[in-house]
Structure 1
Amino acid sequence: MSENREYAPLQPSPFSRTSMNAAACFRPRAARHSGPVLRPLALIPFTLVPFALAGAATAQTVEASAMAPAAEPQVVTVSANRRREPAREVPMQVDMLRAEQLEQAGAKMLSDYLANQPGVDVKNGGGAGFGSISIRGVSTGDQTIATVGTYIDDVAYGSSTPFALGSVTSLDMALLDLHHIELLRGPQGTLYGAGAMGGLLKYVTNEPNPREFSGKAAIGFSATRGGRPGHTENIVLNVPLRENVAALRVAAFNDKSGGYIDATGPAAGANINGGRNSGARVSVLVEPGDKLKVRLTATAQNTRRDSTDYVDYDAATGRPSGREPTRHAALREPYDIKVRIAAADIEYDFGWARLNAITARQTNDIDLRLDYTGVYAPLLAPLGLDLAGVGVHQSTQVRKWTQEFRLTSPARRTVEWLAGLFYDDQRGGNEQLVGSTLAGTAAAPGPDLLRASVPSEYRELAAYGDVTWNATARLALTAGLRVARNEQDYHQRASGMLMGEATDIVSASKDTSTTYMATARYALDATSNVYVRAASGYRPGGPNAVLKDFQTGATAAPPTFDHDELWSYELGYKADLLGRKLGVEAAVYDIRWDDIQQFYAVNGINVIVNAGKAHIQGAELNLQYRPAANWQLTGALTWIDARLSEDAPGLARNGARLPNTARVSASVGTRYSGELAGRPAYAGFDARYVGKRNAGFDENPTLPNYVLPSYAMVNLQAGMTFGATTASVYVNNLLDRRAQLAGGTGFVPYGAPVNMTVQRPRTAGVMLTREF
């Protein structure tokens, strides 16, 4: 077999750029690739590991009350700075999403929760449980490591490396006894650690109440136009174990999602993307005295889907490839995600400071199967392989243990301070098998094309702290610092027909990073403040595959990649005006992102390098108007200009727009809470507009651009209370728009369609909730 024979480079899984080179049996060239790169089929979806043989061709706690009476605003206190304080006094933009209202609106997954947050993008990775979040445009499309951190209460969640799917598995937690979801915009690296360079998503759960027995049960039904019905059940029980001392809280839920996408081809079927999400949480709270508080929590969640949410779109016309919504499938693509989290939070008040010791253990197991037949079978035919199916079976695991100690000084002092230590110990696993089925037989198995195993380890120790000087009754100055040291080990083993010779690669790295934060807040009067904020963020560096030049034997790629970092400069204004009827939050910001982590092909191997810079400018405006006690009107508007400010080889040239970010996005809503026929009732609507976005980069052959058109969406909600029972109804996507939410273009250069995620068709639902 000739080493010079050229094949069209193959592309990644619909879930990720990084996928195994189906022509890896040919030796790659010894030069850097400037054209399209054949990604490794073995390290496909969600792996994002620096192993990608290219082809031989060119290849905070927020506490919120209900609506206050008359002209009083919604009362919100925030611990975004790890201290409880009024939201108006927090020198950053913080959004609070009440779980009750999300549930009433029929929200089921992360993309639903954040849908009405302008400037926030959830790139769906194929269905519930898969996706990546970007805030304020900090994204290159396919991330090496997540740019937005995720917390459950005070527990950091998710992988900190590019080897165990951390960048595309943002926690898609169901509304399981949540109090609210908190969204912090801008870098949070000084207090919330790695992966928070673009912002932070925080799930805040309800605490057990040792003062009273209570509970809630709910059942719901939904129907989707052209799809199958769904149903939801959940129950919460709060049981005092000893009055005012200890309590137990148990919650469980089950959600059956009806499919709405049809499949054509050998694996044809109707409504193939249905599935189930179920889970439970147990929490125990013990307060033996005024100074000591102990909370133990265990959470389990299982997500299963019968197939992905992708549909086929034609890249040239921007229209569905077939009858909408459909997908051509030779094989089905089911997946399972299992999340387990156990945590202990011990709090003790010394008087001079409050100590929090937070210990957590979490596991994340993913099992998925993907259909690569349409692209890989034709390209393998010249090798003499007549294949009816090429399927990938991938299994990944994350085992993560974290320990945090934090001391917080009393509030409302001239000098306030906070200091802490954080330790993270993570083990990642990634097992992949690329199998085949022979054509012309009764589904006879073909050769195993590739087997790969990619275990990894990550350890981090960080010290952080900040000091606030309340210089006057109006002026407060804060400075923060976080220093982190991490060590990583990476091992890659791969073999199989397409590998030729088996590979066994071991690599390691060490990295030290420092992040900073400084703010100044000035109270213009009792109800308005201005602030300035400068903060830095980073993502940790790590090891690469050890590569040699095939001709000289010299090292051909950096053995490690560095952390990338950004600086964000923000000017903001927060106020309650017109007798506290009008709430205003406005901010402008300027972000400079340096040494961007990206995938790049060296000698046909896809490694991670640091290249290029980005400049992001933006403005945000949020309004809440309460003309009367029963009415609330909201509006939000965001403008973002996110571009490369320096050539980034492998991505695009200077001036290229960053993907998945609309220049203009907005949302409006209104809600009435009053009485109907003498019973408490509510009604509301919300609408959002998202401008056009790029799915990739112009002039990028491995991830070609596709312009996602702008769209508008309208939703309705209403409900009435009958004693202890509340009946609520909702209609989402009222106008039944086929909004294009995210597009995967990795296979487009080889004649494949865009893997498109579209808005779920019009869905109507009803929920009955009983409190006791």
Structure 2
Amino acid sequence: MSRSNRSRLRKAPSQQRKLVALLLPCLAALGTPSAWAQTAPADKPADAAPADAKARPSAQDPERLDTITVTATRRREPVREVPLRVEILGTENLERSGAASLIDYVGSLPGVDVKTGGGPGRGAVTMRGVSVGEQQIATVGMYVDEVAFGSSSAFVHGGTTALDLSLLDLNHIEVLRGPQGTLYGAGAMGGLLKYVTNEPDSSAFGGKIGLGVRGTKNGGIGHTENAVLNVPLSQDVAALRVAAFNDHEGGYITAVGPASGEHINDGDTRGARVSLLLEPMSKMKVRLAATTQQIERNGTNTVEYDIDTGRPIYGDLTRHLATGEPYTTKTTLGSADFEYDFGWARFNAILATQRFDSDTAQDATALVPPGAFDFVRLDNKISLRKKTQELRLTSARGTVEWLLGFYNDQEEGNVGQRLWGQLAGGGGAMDLQALNQPSTYDERAFYGDLTWNWSPAWSVTVGARVAKNEQRYSVVGAGPLDSDSSSEDTAKTYLGTLRYNVDKDSAVYFRAASGYRPGGPNPPALDGNLQVIPGTPTSFSHDTLWSYELGYKADLLDRRLNIEAALFDIHWKDLQQPQALGISTIVVNAGKARVKGLELAARYALDAHWNLDGTLALMDAKLTEDASLGPAGSRMPNTAKLGYTLGLRYAFDLASHPSWASLGLRHAGQRNAGFDSADSSVPNFSMPAYTLVDASWGLDLGQWQLTAFVRNLGDKRAIMAADTALLAFGLPLNVTNAQPRTIGATLHYNF
């Protein structure tokens, strides 16, 4: 909303009209950018060892890098044979490094950005520069095994509630770069993140117990407790796996003002998973799974910055609060995966249900005239109920391979908003406005691909997906702003790859793929007198992109050196973006963008002791056509031109026990938080480059493993994310800093 629009609001004849007019266009932006608010194995999950080849080092023979198996193409195959950039994050390595949330898991990967909106469970993930800064719909897909997570519409904050799943009993995390629209559908236009869980083992009883403690500089003490139990119910027929965890975050943010306090972003994350595997016959497998996780925080980890000086207003890691800002997110996933192998093809039927509930509180005192209230708060209640069904038939390996699938998604969502305040002088509570925004999303899609391995060296794949969705969105309880709108949208995506095996250890590939985000309805746009603006778009369409990628993968020097390289060129059109009209904000399609980049990754086992690894991303992401966000030539937000990581690991024996020590460096170049345009709904702020250093050490005592770690060794105040959505209303910039130096240790017992 422009400053002239705000002036018109002040002249409205009644306070009620002012508050109603203010609510929809800006208050939702306090909590989220919405202004109106699959991996499981195709065959069997990759074992823990391949996902984490260096779990138990020893100073013996010269080391070789294990072959890592992934399921990125819905088939289990070595990562070197997958014609796209895939990164495997072994959860044991992540645990040893002290990683505790999504920003730790993937936020340090060059070319990947996690824009956190205040803490775990409130993030937006983007890859390869596919971002306009404020996302109504996610551009990176999220999966837990075979289950798609989150809302595909623009109305349940799916773009800012990326799944922040605990590492408990995960096998590994797969990060797929580039559009995955053919196999994974809506919202995977920038890439895909897949949490792959451990499968029950019917051959042996076992489990693990873990304890951890950590301390943050000038912050509170955190601790973690977790346990996993695997129980064979019948040899080679049935098994049960149960896991549970509790994690306490000590907090490190200080608040000043009426709601002052220390360590205000402290809280707990708790969860559990139950998985049952049934194999009644050699060709049949059924896996039932249920996962629940709840994140509770007493406040956010954002700090107010001065837009002109780029410095915190109230001091280091300190913010001003007139009222507290606690939040809770709860996720529940249930799934059933039935698989039958006909020999000539494998059939999978996956049924899943999920519930997502989020309660957030935001200090909105600065958005109302001073004097009448001690504080004003906006409460957001988000709920999503989602059911998915997927049927897939995958051919056996051979000269010609094919895959056919059907996907159905049914979603019911609601965003409830309540603006209320405490009257001045400690008076009673007063409701200023309350409304609900119910929505539905129904999608049906057919997809498939065909691969021809015409020689041992050459193979070609083509694929396509056709998806149709129907949506409805309403505003209820806002008086003159009540509305009801609907839309229909059909999108098509395509895939083509050509792969050439140079020899048995190296390959080159070319990949052309498209991706999309669904369109949807718009509410009526209103002027300062609460009248509908004629000619306002009643809906927005899907945006699409094409990505062209040339890559090279190789295992060299007797598999002691692994190299991956990719050149890519992304063409993005009809960008979905927020646009202010009168006192309303709607979504429109406008402009084009292009991202050109280079990615490199290498791992090198020098000898039995030393291992080196590094990654590099160079990107040039710009608007190539004027958009309401900014003019052509503007850099895309949250995308560094240069990012890299370096890691050094030394394995040795300590008192005849395997031990190791590692040092890691992560660098991200300067990034823009928005666009340099006076009319942009995403104003700019320049986030400086940063370099962070982490260290860890471990000792393997057989059934016992001891690990110690230091994150952010130099205690740097790196700016990880900046929210500029409220700058237009004269409010400060909200910034998320890297967590201060954190030192911790974990102890695991395996049985």
Same-fold status (TM-score > 0.5):
yes
CA positional deviation for 1:502: 3.6
Report if the CA contact (8 A) 2:19-2:433 is conserved: no
Shift in alpha-carbon separation, 1:256–1:325, aligned structure 2, 3 A: same
Aligned partner of residue 118 in structure 2, secondary structure: strand
1:80 partner letter? A
Report if the CA contact (8 A) 2:26-2:35 is conserved: no
2:416 partner letter? E
1:398 corresponds to which of 384, 398, 408: 384
Matches of 2:709 and 2:567, distance apart in 1: 35
Q: 1:116-155 counterparts in 2 under 5 A?
A: 116-155=108-147
Q: Deviations over 1:163-212 (max 9, x none)?
A: 11100000000111100001000000000111100000000000000000
Q: Deviations over 1:448-495 (max 9, x none)?
A: 221111000000000000000001110000000000011011111133
CA positional deviation for 1:42: 4.7
Q: 1:632-643 counterparts in 2 under 5 A?
A: 632-643=611-622
Unaligned ranges ≥5, structure 2: 55-60
1:514 corresponds to which of 479, 488, 492: 492
> Which of 130-139 and 677-686 deviates more?
677-686
1:467 partner letter? L
Shift in alpha-carbon separation, 1:553–1:323, aligned structure 2, 3 A: closer
Shift in alpha-carbon separation, 1:700–1:78, aligned structure 2, 3 A: farther
Shift in alpha-carbon separation, 1:655–1:125, aligned structure 2, 3 A: same
Q: Does 1:762 find its partner at 2:741?
A: yes
Q: Deviations over 1:540-559 (max 9, x none)?
A: 00111134787997743111
Aligned partner of residue 7 in structure 1, secondary structure: helix
Report if the CA contact (8 A) 1:48-1:163 is conserved: no
CA positional deviation for 1:47: 5.6
Q: Does 1:376 find its partner at 2:355?
A: no
2:523 corresponds to which of 525, 545, 557: 545
1:656 corresponds to which of 631, 634, 637: 634
1:758 partner letter? N
Q: Percent identity?
A: 48
1:431 partner letter? G
1:445 partner letter? A
Shift in alpha-carbon separation, 1:769–1:145, aligned structure 2, 3 A: same
Aligned partner of residue 80 in structure 2, secondary structure: helix
Matches of 2:196 and 2:678, distance apart in 1: 40
Aligned to 1:247: 239
Aligned partner of residue 491 in structure 1, secondary structure: strand
Report if the CA contact (8 A) 2:421-2:429 is conserved: yes
Q: 1:175-194 counterparts in 2 under 5 A?
A: 175-194=167-186
Report if the CA contact (8 A) 1:281-1:297 is conserved: yes
Shift in alpha-carbon separation, 1:580–1:24, aligned structure 2, 3 A: farther
Q: Does 1:356 find its partner at 2:356?
A: no
CA positional deviation for 1:43: 3.2
Aligned to 1:451: 434
Matches of 1:241 and 1:9, distance apart in 2: 70
Q: Does 1:683 find its partner at 2:661?
A: yes
Aligned to 2:649: 671
CA positional deviation for 1:525: 1.2
Shift in alpha-carbon separation, 1:700–1:360, aligned structure 2, 3 A: farther
Report if the CA contact (8 A) 1:313-1:753 is conserved: yes
CA positional deviation for 1:683: 1.2
1:432 partner letter? Q
Aligned partner of residue 111 in structure 1, secondary structure: helix
2:129 partner letter? G
Unaligned ranges ≥5, structure 1: 11-20, 29-36, 53-59, 496-500
CA positional deviation for 1:438: 1.8
Aligned partner of residue 281 in structure 2, secondary structure: coil
Aligned to 1:612: 591
2:18 corresponds to which of 16, 25, 34: 25
1:40 corresponds to which of 25, 35, 41: 25
Q: Deviations over 1:204-228 (max 9, x none)?
A: 0000000000010000110110000
Matches of 1:305 and 1:167, distance apart in 2: 20
> Which of 67-76 and 221-230 deviates more?
67-76
Aligned partner of residue 190 in structure 1, secondary structure: helix
Report if the CA contact (8 A) 2:19-2:432 is conserved: no
Aligned to 2:57: none
Matches of 1:553 and 1:399, distance apart in 2: 32
CA positional deviation for 1:40: 2.3
> Which of 672-681 and 386-395 deviates more?
672-681
Aligned partner of residue 766 in structure 1, secondary structure: strand
Matches of 1:49 and 1:272, distance apart in 2: 26
- The two structures have a TM-score, normalised by structure 2, of 0.94
Aligned partner of residue 191 in structure 1, secondary structure: helix
1:599 corresponds to which of 578, 591, 594: 578
**Root-mean-square deviation over aligned CA pairs:** 2.1
Q: Deviations over 1:109-168 (max 9, x none)?
A: 000001331100000111110010000000000112000000000100001111111000
Aligned to 2:505: 527
Matches of 1:306 and 1:99, distance apart in 2: 27
Aligned partner of residue 104 in structure 2, secondary structure: helix
Aligned to 1:481: 464
Aligned to 1:586: 565
Report if the CA contact (8 A) 1:7-1:23 is conserved: no
- The two structures have a TM-score, normalised by structure 1, of 0.91
CA positional deviation for 1:703: 2.9
CA positional deviation for 1:51: 3.6
1:537 partner letter? G
Report if the CA contact (8 A) 1:22-1:376 is conserved: no
1:465 partner letter? G
Report if the CA contact (8 A) 1:223-1:230 is conserved: yes
Q: Does 1:86 find its partner at 2:69?
A: no
Report if the CA contact (8 A) 1:22-1:40 is conserved: no
Matches of 2:589 and 2:67, distance apart in 1: 44
Aligned to 1:724: 703
Aligned to 1:424: 409
2:693 corresponds to which of 711, 714, 736: 714
Q: How many residues align?
A: 729
Matches of 2:118 and 2:314, distance apart in 1: 19
Shift in alpha-carbon separation, 1:99–1:700, aligned structure 2, 3 A: farther
